Amino acid sequence: MIDLNTKLLHENEMEEAAALIRAGEPVGMPTETVYGLACDAGNPEAVRKVFAAKGRPADNPLIVHIADIADWAPLVTEIPPLAQALAEKFWPGPLTIILPRSGRIPAITAGGLDSVGIRFPAHPVSQALIQASGVPLAAPSGNRSGSPSPTTSAHMLADMDGRIPAILEGGSCACGVESTVIALDDEKTVRVLRPGFVTPEQLGTVAENVIVDPAVLAQISADTVVRSPGMKYKHYAPNAQVTLVQGGQAEFLHFMEQHNTQGAAALVFDADVPLCQAKGIRCHAYGDTDEARAAAFFAALREADAEGVRHLYVRAPRTDGVGLAVYNRLIRAAGYDVVTAE
């Protein structure tokens, strides 16, 4: 029986969370990237509940989470040496590897694709839940479809209260941006479908070639066939209109002076704050390094809504390293409204 309100469970209530999973219910789960909405990956009825709670399109596949590197073999039809080498280097951690799925993964979990993305998360609470449940866990990010991903249990509760039985508490997510999703083009080549904390540069220490899929930085129309269905959907968007502003500090400040209407606010680097304040521009900072910005930007998008911001102008991060992951999410949050300040 599902209570009307979603229960917050603590780590010492792991068995209660695992019992819900085994009973085919979805449970909120912290990971080092973002909170996920976990369920038994092999139970189509449980997976259906996850899609329903999120309002997620049925063709957008779920990532399957394991807690031991040996546990991916039964879930896929083959593990090429490059995939094994990547898993050994980056797991547990924020990397999802797509391989052909075995019969253990139902079609609904894979969004109807013949492949499955596998990830071994680093967060001790997600590892404990997978172990206690005794099954691989399918888990998309724990937000309502289209909204910013949750990096705290409070964010997840705001989206999911009354829609799922429970969320496991696990603090703030250290990475703050979802896992890097990769496919293998051939035995030497990795294709990055979604950038994350494991960067193309790091993947290049294991793979001979690393291709960043063009969809990472470009707009994909809804009728395009893409390698990763998530690339084409509206994503990460707060209620506020978002514009991503490229350019240096001086150019950004000049742009903001021209766009400083009522309801406008800026999301900037830490060093920009005093200069914005001196010009009477309402602003919040989201960090001074790529990693800090990754950990902060989803919360900042939610805060803008809480404060009634109508138009949020975001100073664009870099497009290399972890910055690429933040940039990839922000262009989608902005509905591809990207301008260059001069």
- Residue 115 near ligand TXA by CB under 6 A: yes
- Residue 60 near ligand TXA by CB under 6 A: yes
- Residue 36 near ligand TXA by CB under 6 A: yes
- Tell the smallest beta-carbon distance from residue 280 to ligand TXA (Å): 38
Q: Tell me how long the chain is.
A: 342
Q: Find the part of the chain contacting ligand TXA (CB under 6 A) among 138-146, 216-224, 245-253, 272-280.
A: 138-146
Strands 241-246 and 338-340, by their bridges, are: parallel
**Site residue total, Mg ion (CB under 5 A):** 1
- Residue 141 near Mg ion by CB under 5 A: yes
**One of 18, 82, 97, 98 touching ligand TXA (CB under 6 A):** 98
- Residue 141 near ligand TXA by CB under 6 A: yes
- Tell the smallest beta-carbon distance from residue 159 to ligand TXA (Å): 12
Contact 35, 153 (CB under 8 A): yes
Residue 61 binding: pick among ligand TXA, Mg ion, none (C-beta 5-8 Å cut-off by kind): ligand TXA
Question: What per-residue string of b and e applies to 316-342 under the rule 16 or more CB within 10 Å gives b?
Answer: bbebebbbbbbbbbbbbbbeeebeebe
- Residue 291 near ligand TXA by CB under 6 A: no
- Give one DSSP letter per residue of 101-140, joined into a string: B-TTS-TTTTTT-SEEEEE----HHHHHHHHHHTS-EE--
**One of 61, 150, 238, 317 touching ligand TXA (CB under 6 A):** 61
- Residue 30 near ligand TXA by CB under 6 A: no
Task: Please give, one letter per residue, the 3-state secondary structure of 284-314.
Answer: EECCCCHHHHHHHHHHHHHHHHHCCCCEEEE
Q: Find the part of the chain contacting ligand TXA (CB under 6 A) among 43-51, 109-117, 265-273, 283-291.
A: 109-117
- Tell the smallest beta-carbon distance from residue 140 to Mg ion (Å): 5
Q: How many CB atoms lie within 10 A of CB 74?
A: 12
198's tokens: 């494991």
- Tell the smallest beta-carbon distance from residue 259 to ligand TXA (Å): 31
Contact 94, 33 (CB under 8 A): yes
- Tell the smallest beta-carbon distance from residue 253 to ligand TXA (Å): 34
Rounded Cα distance between 292 and 323, Å, is: 10
Q: Residue for token digits 């406008």? A: 264
Residue whose CB is less far from ligand TXA, 179 or 243 = 179
**Site residue total, ligand TXA (CB under 6 A):** 30
Residue whose CB is less far from Mg ion, 33 or 133 = 33
Q: Find the part of the chain contacting Mg ion (CB under 5 A) among 19-27, 58-66, 137-145, 272-280.
A: 137-145
Residues 149-188 that bind ligand TXA (CB under 6 A): 178-179, 181
Residue whose CB is less far from Mg ion, 93 or 230 = 230
* Local structure of 315: helix, strand or coil: strand
Rounded Cα distance between 240 and 258, Å, is: 19
Pure H helices in the chain: 14-22, 44-54, 81-90, 124-133, 153-160, 200-203, 249-258, 273-278, 290-306, 323-333
- Residue 63 near ligand TXA by CB under 6 A: yes
User: Rounded to the nearest 5°, which phi and psi values hold at 104?
Assistant: -70, -20
Rounded Cα distance between 181 and 193, Å, is: 5
Residue whose CB is less far from ligand TXA, 139 or 164 = 139
Q: Residue for token digits 């490059």? A: 82
- Contacts with ligand TXA by CB under 6 A lie at 31, 33-34, 36, 60-63, 94, 96, 98, 110, 113, 115-117, 119, 121, 139-141, 178-179, 181, 193-194, 227-230
